[in-house]
Amino acid sequence: MNENDSVIFGTSKINYEITYSVRRKNVSISVSPDKKVKVLAPSNLTPEAIREVVKRKADWVLKKLEWFDHIQQFDSSKEYVSGETFLYMGRQYRLKILSENFEVSIRLKGRFFEVTIPKDTPQENRQQLVRGVLWKWYVEHAEKKLREISQTYSRKLHISPPSLKVKSQAKRWGSCSKDNVIRINVQIIMAPMKQIEYVIAHELCHIKYKSHSSDFWKSLRLIMPDYELRKESLRKEGWRYVL
């Protein structure tokens, strides 16, 4: 059963859709890129009780909505042509496409991504080819760098480095599964090092504490005293990390 409701938080109104389930034991709130707020709740929970939960999470919900606003205002489409800029670890690099009698290749040279493609590549295939080369480069470099960071912060937490997978994720920078597999959004490698470290440290703390409990935040603060500054900078700038 679904129903719609809303709460007022400060000067903002949050509209949300509730989906009830007899299998659920707690309330889950999500915000999708189309700025729809969805609440999954146990079937025996009253609308009033759900409103209280949404109010407690209202600050987080509004920040998510603001973040998706940024994305919509920013032209996130890439054409993968010479002159376009791409971020890597907080620095901006310009794309330079070279047509040669060689196989496809890519290298970072100075402030440029140099992508070489065969001279006889049909025009209609160039964009897809360049995009594929860039994605592969980003994934390979993200895997190496993120594993290094994971090892560093795993030592600080006195845990063994977990399994870490790099993938494309539409809604989040990272996640930690029940079996402690950490998945990181490849596009975080476009961010400055402090933001990258925050995402890794955050997910590593979930190995010890699955929820965002007070113990979770204490654990994160212990290994990263300035995590709040890093978290806020990622919230403000994350919309720029588009590949």
Tell me the average pLDDT across 69-92: 80
**Three-class DSSP category at 23:** coil
Structural domains of the chain sorted by starting position, each given as residue range(s) with its CATH number in brackets: 2-73 (no CATH), 85-240 (3.30.2010.10)
pLDDT at 95 over 60: yes
pLDDT at 74 over 70: no
- Do 189 and 203 contact (CB within 8 A), yes or no? no
Tens of pLDDT along 131-184? Answer: 999 999 999 999 999 999 999 999 999 999 999 999 887 678 999 999 999 999
Locate 147 and state its tokens.
């594993």
pLDDT at 207 over 60: yes
What integer pLDDT is reported at residue 76 of this predicted model? 55
Q: How far apart are CA 37 and CA 14, in angstroms?
A: 8
pLDDT at 108 over 80: yes
Per-residue confidence at 1, pLDDT binned at 50, 70, 90? confident
pLDDT at 208 over 60: yes
What burial class does residue 22 get, using C-beta atoms within 10 Å of its C-beta: 0-12 exposed, 13-18 middle, 19+ buried? exposed
Residue whose tokens read 């949050």: 14
What integer pLDDT is reported at residue 72 of this predicted model? 56
What integer pLDDT is reported at residue 78 of this predicted model? 82
Tell me the average pLDDT across 223-235: 94
pLDDT at 98 over 60: yes
Tell me the average pLDDT across 78-104: 91
Tens of pLDDT along 111-125? Answer: 999 999 998 888 888
**Three-class DSSP category at 242:** coil
What integer pLDDT is reported at residue 168 of this predicted model? 84
Residue 94 — φ and ψ, nearest 5°?
-95, 140
